[in-house]
């Protein structure tokens, strides 16, 4: 027969996996339905005055566009009428994309912390339960506030998103694993079979109920996330089509566009647009 302690650990790990998977959707998007894999080397600020793309490493360091006009490292760049139209469409696409990314990130974080709260309510007891619930509540509030002040306010930074979503949830999971494991070990070592059985029953019940709920919400979130790909595809097509050139003659690249399979031969790779 499987040792109760192992069963509890397996059930708990399944719950944490659901939480972590849900949160991951806030930090990066599955590109299964996208034509290519997309990223950007820039941090992006979306304001009423325009779009600012900036970075500390690489050239150009700053690109600013608004209403069809373009500045690179503070200097205006002349563009054709057709490219001005493309830049306007690009700006409009980014403006519409950012709030949706923020909403998805918020939902992913909320799902993760709700899962961890359920685990805490199931296993923790007394003062330990109250302490963990308070910490989770505080961490969730901090994460949501960081999203609101970042991407929610029009400021995109991949590093900040990763730290906010994955980092925050990872910290919460780590602490929760310690407390649940402690409870399981205490029960196993106590010799009280009824206590172990009760803990086993709670683990089994949580495994079923939490996975059912998280799977349902994860599917809904994945469907919402899938709507991002057509928007990214459209932005990529604009970038591929425009003839905008930087002062050094290189094409303007605000997005990095790569083929699905990074192991393809070099001649199959989409290097630049």
Given a cut of 90, whether residue 66 has pLDDT beyond it is: yes
C-alpha to C-alpha distances, 97 to 14, 103, 124, 151, 154, nearest whole angstrom: 32, 10, 40, 10, 10
Given a cut of 60, whether residue 80 has pLDDT beyond it is: yes
According to the model, what pLDDT value does residue 104 have? Answer: 87
Contact 253, 272 (CB under 8 A): yes
What is the pTM for the complete model shown? 0.74
Cα–Cα distance, 151 to 139 (Å, whole number):
18
Give me the torsion for CA of 39, 42, 45, 46, rounded to 10°.
-40
According to the model, what pLDDT value does residue 143 have? Answer: 87
Predicted confidence band of residue 132 (pLDDT cuts 50, 70, 90): confident
Given a cut of 60, whether residue 270 has pLDDT beyond it is: no
According to the model, what pLDDT value does residue 196 have? Answer: 64
Contact 68, 88 (CB under 8 A): yes
Instruction: Tell me the residue length of the chain.
Output: 273
- 3-state SS, residue 242: coil
Q: Looking at the DSSP assignment, which residues form a beta bridge with residue 54?
A: 43, 62
Segment 234-255 shows an average pLDDT of 94
Q: Which helix (H) or strand (E) holds 218?
A: helix 193-226
Q: What is the pLDDT of residues 177-187, one digit of tens each?
A: 656 655 655 65
Cα–Cα distance, 165 to 167 (Å, whole number):
6
Segment 143-155 shows an average pLDDT of 91
Strands across the sheet with 155-156, in order? 75-77, 69-72, 62-66, 50-54, 43-47, 155-156
Q: Which of 27, 47, 17, 31 is nearest to 147 (CA)?
A: 27
Kindly report the number of other CB atoms within 10 A of residue 92's CB atom: 10
Given a cut of 50, whether residue 265 has pLDDT beyond it is: no
Cα–Cα distance, 26 to 94 (Å, whole number):
17
For tokens 């330990």, the residue is 128
- Residue that wins the pLDDT comparison between 244 and 109: 244
Given a cut of 70, whether residue 231 has pLDDT beyond it is: yes
Segment 239-256 shows an average pLDDT of 94
Residues 6+ apart with CB under 8 A from 149: 155
According to the model, what pLDDT value does residue 26 have? Answer: 37
> Distance between alpha carbon 107 and the CA centroid of its chain, in Å?
10
According to the model, what pLDDT value does residue 126 have? Answer: 76
Given a cut of 50, whether residue 175 has pLDDT beyond it is: yes
According to the model, what pLDDT value does residue 174 have? Answer: 61
Q: How is residue 169 written in tokens?
A: 């949830």
According to the model, what pLDDT value does residue 215 have? Answer: 77
According to the model, what pLDDT value does residue 28 have? Answer: 39
- Taken in order 156, 162, 167, 169, is the CA torsion positive or negative? positive
Given a cut of 60, whether residue 29 has pLDDT beyond it is: no
Given a cut of 90, whether residue 263 has pLDDT beyond it is: no
Q: How is residue 103 written in tokens?
A: 């909403």
Q: How is residue 5 written in tokens?
A: 């302690």
Contact 98, 154 (CB under 8 A): yes
Q: How is residue 95 written in tokens?
A: 């403006």
Report the mean per-residue pLDDT for the chain: 77
Predicted confidence band of residue 264 (pLDDT cuts 50, 70, 90): very low
Kindly report the number of other CB atoms within 10 A of residue 14's CB atom: 16
- Residue that wins the pLDDT comparison between 95 and 188: 95
């Amino acid at each position: 027969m499987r040792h109760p302690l192992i069963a509890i650990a397996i059930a708990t790990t399944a719950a944490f996996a659901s939480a972590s998977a849900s949160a991951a959707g806030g930090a990066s998007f599955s590109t299964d339905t996208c034509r290519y894999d997309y990223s950007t080397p820039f941090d992006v600020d979306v304001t009423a005055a325009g779009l600012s793309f900036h970075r500390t490493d690489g050239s150009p360091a700053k690109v600013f566009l608004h209403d069809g006009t373009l500045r690179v490292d503070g200097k205006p760049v002349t563009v054709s009428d057709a490219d001005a139209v493309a830049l306007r469409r690009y700006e409009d696409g980014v403006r519409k994309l950012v709030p949706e990314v923020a909403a998805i990130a918020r939902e992913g974080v909320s799902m993760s912390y709700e899962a961890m709260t359920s685990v805490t309510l199931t296993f923790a007891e007394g003062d330990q339960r109250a302490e963990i619930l308070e910490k989770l509540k505080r961490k969730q509030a901090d994460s949501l506030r960081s999203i609101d002040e970042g991407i929610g306010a029009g400021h995109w930074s991949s590093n900040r998103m990763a730290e906010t979503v994955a980092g925050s949830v990872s910290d919460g999971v780590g602490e929760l694993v310690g407390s649940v494991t402690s409870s399981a070990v205490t029960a196993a070592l106590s010799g009280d079979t009824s206590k172990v059985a009760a803990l086993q029953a709670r683990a089994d019940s949580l495994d079923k109920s939490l996975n059912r709920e998280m799977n349902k919400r994860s599917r809904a979130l994945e469907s919402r996330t899938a709507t991002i790909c057509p928007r990214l595809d459209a932005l990529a097509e604009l970038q591929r089509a425009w003839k905008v050139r930087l002062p050094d003659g290189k094409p303007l690249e605000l997005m990095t566009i790569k083929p699905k399979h990074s192991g393809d031969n070099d001649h199959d790779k989409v290097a630049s647009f």
